[in-house]
Each structure stands twice: as structure tokens, then as C-alpha cells.
């Protein structure tokens, strides 16, 4: 007799909704604690092969290998930050030129508004002055929020390396803890889940790094050929912001347009910046992302967008960056738990297969899923006299074999006698 308690559907649904609400509340109010911990966990998984290399190949003690991995990671990060700061300092040296070009474009825009909407410059200036006065009321609050956010960034920049070091140093402790809370008969499945999580996270972050480098290189080359002054800085910033899916590239494009306008009085350069961003995004979405990202983490676009929006609500920019790897981890867990396997399939990207027609690949929407077969009642179509028409029922449900149907021999004997 089974000891499993079977509950009605509405009770199960209520429990699931209450658990989801509780998780959202915990993440929302505890984001300052949870976000750096999750970010450190991802970095620890990413750096684990480096630690393993130091231990096995260079014969380092475990703690020395962890320290060297953290130092190498911080050196790389600080090197990128230092290079960006040098580019920003070069831009600051041209501040007078940027200011004059910006005022030129403001004058040009005011002229267009006066010619097309018949609003004089005096009226435009009055509107701007009124908006400025209204904004002064919230200026102190904005400055306070900015200082608070900057303090949070500095705090996270200090805590994340420490958390990452501790995750790497106590990795065996955490694995032993998980083995103690899981029954021995499920240890094999636990090892499989941990291995797949490690592969998924490492592959995703590695793919993001390659994608970032490729987008930064392509954008830099494009801006160089169209004559953008700070093409190296804008290319690197575009590659970094592209790490935030769907949203980052939009901010990168707006920033590139503003900087290009500040560095030149030629409005045609804006068209060039837009064209370069569109070309780079086309290459990124159709070549780089399928090659480096989607091939590593099979998550459909709908779940990705919803997860990024939820991550933004719960954790801001950090939550948006963590959304995809967290969904990938959940998908790995769901795929290996029988009761949650349908949710793992919902997160996946089971696209229709394609067939080639005159060297053009066209989606085959009448495909059979490779993961599940829907068992439904289907009207049986008897074959014609020629016997060439297939049985529709056998296309949905496999035919019954003699082992499953002991009466088949009897039926076939009766048919032979009737004939």
C-alpha cells in the first residue's frame, strides 16, 4: 500500500501559489543579501575548472589554488575597468568640444521645432525652465538614491569576491550537506543534477564571454569605419551591456547615439551608428547567440523574457543578469524530477523540425515531438481495398503487440476460419 498522500488539484494549486508568493516576497525584500550570494555562486561554478587545473596540473594546495583563481579573476576584471577609465578620461579631456557640439545640436533641434510646430525659442526655453524647476524638487532624492546605489555597488564589489572564495573553499562541505538531505537511493540522481548544473552554468557564462568579445569587436570596427570618435570605448560598453539580454543593447544604442552627437556636428553619423548596431545585432541574434548561448542553454524566448522582467523587479540589473542562469538551473532540476518534468519541458526550446525545399529550410509544423507523445483518442480510419492508406491511429499510439493482447491469436484464428 502506498504511503503517498494524494491531494485534490485545487489544494496542490493553492500550495504552489503560496510557495511562489513566499519566494517572490523573500527575494524582493532580501535582494541585497540574495543577489550577491547568487552572483558569487555563478562565479564559483565558473572558476571551479581553474581551481581544478591549479590543483591537478600545478600541484597547488586547495586553498592556494582558490586564492590564485580569485586573484586571476579580479586582475582580469580590474584590467578591463582600468582600460575603460582611460578611455573615459580621454573623453573628459575633450569636454569643451563635446559641450559646444551638444549646444549646436540643441540649437538645431530648437530650430526644427520652431519651423515645424511653430513654437518659438522663447517658449521652448520657458518650458525647459519650468521643467527644470519641477525637477529640483526631486533632485535631493535623486542624489540620495544615486549615492545609495553607489554604496551598494561598492559593498557588492567587496562581498562578491569573498563569497566566491568561500563557495570554492567549502565546495565539498556543500556537496556533503546535499548528500545528507537526500536519501541514498537518490544520490546518483543528485550527482547527475550537480554535474549538469555545472556544465550548464559554465557553458552559458563561457558563451556569454565569447559573445561579449565578438559584439565588442564588431561594434568597434563598425564605429571606426563610420568615423565615431570614441569607437573603442563605445564598442567595449556595447559588448558589456549586451550581457543583459534584450535590454542592454537598447541602452548601448542610445548611449552610442548621444556620444556620437556630442563628438561631431554631422547628423548623418547617427544613421551610421544605427546601421552598425542593426548589423551587429543581426549577426549576434542569428549567428553568435545560437552558436555560443542557445546551444548551451536550451530555454525558449518567452520564458527568457518573462524571467528577465521578473529578475528586474526582484533584483534590478543584477537580477536581469541572473535570470537566465537561474532558469537554466531550475530546468536541469525539473528535468530530473518526475513530478516536475513537464515544467522543465515548458522551459525548454523544442522547436519544430525543418525540411529542405529547393535549398531553403522551412519549419515542419506537423512534427512529432522527440520527448513526449500525446496519447489521445483518435478516429481510426480503415485501410482501403488497395491497402495503401495508413492507419491514423497507429501514427499516434503504437500498435498493440501479441504480448500486450493475448486475444490477438484467437481473433486471427477466427478471421482465418471466416475466410
d(CA 7, CA 391): 39
* The overall pTM is greater than 0.75: no
Longest Cα separation, the chain: 105
Digit-coded pLDDT (tens) for 122-153: 777 777 777 666 555 554 554 454 445 555 66
Inter-CA distances, 124 with 89, 109, 115, 117, 262, Å: 34, 11, 13, 11, 21
**For residues 118 and 129, what is the distance between their CA atoms, to the nearest angstrom?**
19
Each residue of 74-129: pLDDT tens digit? 998 888 888 888 877 777 777 777 777 777 777 777 788 877 777 777 777 777 77
Question: Most confidently modeled of 217-221, 291-295, 349-353?
Answer: 217-221
Provide mean pLDDT across the span 38-44: 90
Output the pLDDT for position 71: 93
| pLDDT over 50 (residue 50) | yes
Copy the grid coordinates of residue 46.
565558473
Instruction: Assess whether pLDDT exceeds 50 at residue 226.
Output: yes
Cell numbers linked to 411: 481473433
User: How confident is the model over 298-347, as pLDDT tens digits?
Assistant: 788 788 888 888 888 887 778 888 888 888 888 888 888 877 788 888 88
Give the Cα-Cα-Cα angle 271, 273, 278 (nearest 5 degrees). 95
Long-range contacts of 305-309 (CB under 8 A, 24+ apart): 305/246, 308/244, 308/245, 308/246, 308/247
Question: What pLDDT digit, counting tens, does each position of 358-413 carry?
Answer: 555 555 544 455 444 444 444 444 444 444 444 433 333 344 444 444 444 444 44
Q: Is 315 exposed, middle or buried (0-12, 13-18, 19+ CB in 10 A)?
A: buried
Amino acid at each position: 500500500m502506498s504511503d503517498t498522500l494524494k491531494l485534490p488539484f485545487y489544494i496542490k494549486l493553492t500550495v504552489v501559489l503560496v510557495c511562489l508568493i513566499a519566494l517572490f516576497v523573500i527575494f524582493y525584500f532580501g535582494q541585497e543579501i540574495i543577489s550577491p550570494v547568487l552572483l558569487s555562486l555563478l562565479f564559483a561554478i565558473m572558476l571551479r575548472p581553474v581551481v581544478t587545473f591549479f590543483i591537478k596540473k600545478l600541484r597547488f594546495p586547495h586553498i592556494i589554488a582558490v586564492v590564485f583563481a580569485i586573484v586571476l579573476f579580479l586582475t582580469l576584471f580590474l584590467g578591463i575597468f582600468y582600460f575603460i577609465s582611460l578611455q573615459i578620461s580621454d573623453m573628459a579631456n575633450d569636454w569643451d568640444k563635446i559641450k559646444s557640439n551638444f549646444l549646436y545640436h540643441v540649437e538645431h533641434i530648437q530650430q526644427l521645432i520652431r519651423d515645424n510646430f511653430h513654437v518659438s525659442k522663447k517658449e521652448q526655453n520657458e518650458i525647459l525652465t519650468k521643467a527644470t524647476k519641477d525637477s529640483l524638487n526631486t533632485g535631493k532624492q535623486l542624489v540620495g538614491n544615486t549615492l545609495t546605489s553607489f554604496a551598494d555597488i561598492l559593498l557588492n564589489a567587496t562581498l562578491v569576491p569573498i563569497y566566491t572564495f568561500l563557495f570554492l573553499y567549502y565546495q565539498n562541505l556543500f556537496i556533503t550537506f546535499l548528500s545528507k538531505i537526500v536519501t541514498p537511493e537518490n544520490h546518483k540522481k543528485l550527482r547527475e543534477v550537480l554535474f549538469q548544473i555545472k556544465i550548464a552554468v559554465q557553458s552559458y557564462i563561457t558563451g556569454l564571454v565569447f559573445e561579449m568579445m565578438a559584439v565588442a569587436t564588431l561594434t568597434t570596427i563598425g564605429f571606426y569605419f563610420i568615423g565615431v570618435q570614441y569607437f573603442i570605448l563605445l564598442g567595449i560598453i556595447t559588448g558589456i551591456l549586451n550581457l543583459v539580454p534584450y535590454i542592454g543593447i537598447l541602452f548601448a544604442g542610445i548611449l552610442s547615439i548621444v556620444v556620437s552627437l556630442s563628438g561631431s556636428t554631422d547628423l548623418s553619423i547617427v544613421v551610421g551608428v544605427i546601421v552598425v548596431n542593426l548589423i551587429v545585432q543581426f549577426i549576434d541574434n542569428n549567428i553568435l547567440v545560437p552558436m555560443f548561448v542557445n546551444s548551451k542553454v536550451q530555454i525558449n524566448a518567452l520564458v527568457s523574457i518573462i524571467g528577465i522582467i521578473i529578475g528586474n523587479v526582484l533584483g534590478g540589473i543584477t537580477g536581469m543578469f541572473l535570470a537566465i542562469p537561474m532558469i537554466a538551473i531550475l530546468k536541469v532540476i525539473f528535468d530530473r524530477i518526475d513530478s516536475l518534468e513537464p515544467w522543465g519541458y515548458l522551459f525548454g526550446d523544442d522547436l519544430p523540425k525543418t525540411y529542405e525545399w529547393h535549398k531553403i529550410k522551412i519549419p515542419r509544423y506537423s512534427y512529432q515531438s522527440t520527448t513526449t507523445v500525446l496519447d489521445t483518442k483518435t478516429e481510426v480510419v480503415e485501410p482501403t481495398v488497395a491497402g495503401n492508406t495508413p492507419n491514423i491511429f497507429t501514427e499516434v499510439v503504437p500498435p498493440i503487440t501479441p504480448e500486450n493482447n493475448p486475444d490477438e491469436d484467437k481473433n486471427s484464428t477466427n478471421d482465418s476460419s471466416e475466410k
